[in-house]
Amino acid sequence: MQLRFLGQGYSTSNHRVDTVPTAHQAHFLGQSYTLRRPIQTFKPPLGLRKYRGVSYGR
């Protein structure tokens, strides 16, 4: 999907977040839920970055 902000086009990037269940229980509106915590598997790419058309980084 192509999006625009202040005249600059960009694309969305959806990253999958893997989770594992914890030993904690939460209650909301009479329902019980097992809380889950994320496992960090995504590492942002290092190197050239752009912000409003200006390049930063290595």
Q: What is the pLDDT of residues 17-29, one digit of tens each?
A: 888 999 999 999 9
Q: Rounded to an integer, what distance in angstroms lies between the CA atom of residue 14 and that of residue 4? A: 17
Across 9-13, 15-19, 42-46, least confident range: 42-46
- Please count the structural domains in the chain: 1
Question: pLDDT at position 54, please?
Answer: 80
Against a cut of 0.75, is the pTM above it? no
Q: What is the per-residue pLDDT for 48?
A: 67
Residue 49 main-chain phi, psi, to 5 deg: -130, 150
Phi then psi for 16, rounded to 5 degrees?
Answer: -80, 135
Does a structural domain hold residue 9? no
* Residue at 10 is within a domain: no
3-state secondary structure of 41: coil
Q: Which two tokens stand for residue 42?
A: 């995504």
> Domain range spanning residue 34?
15-56
What is the band of 53 on the pLDDT scale with cuts at 50, 70, 90?
Answer: confident
User: Band of the pLDDT at 42, cuts 50, 70, 90?
Assistant: low
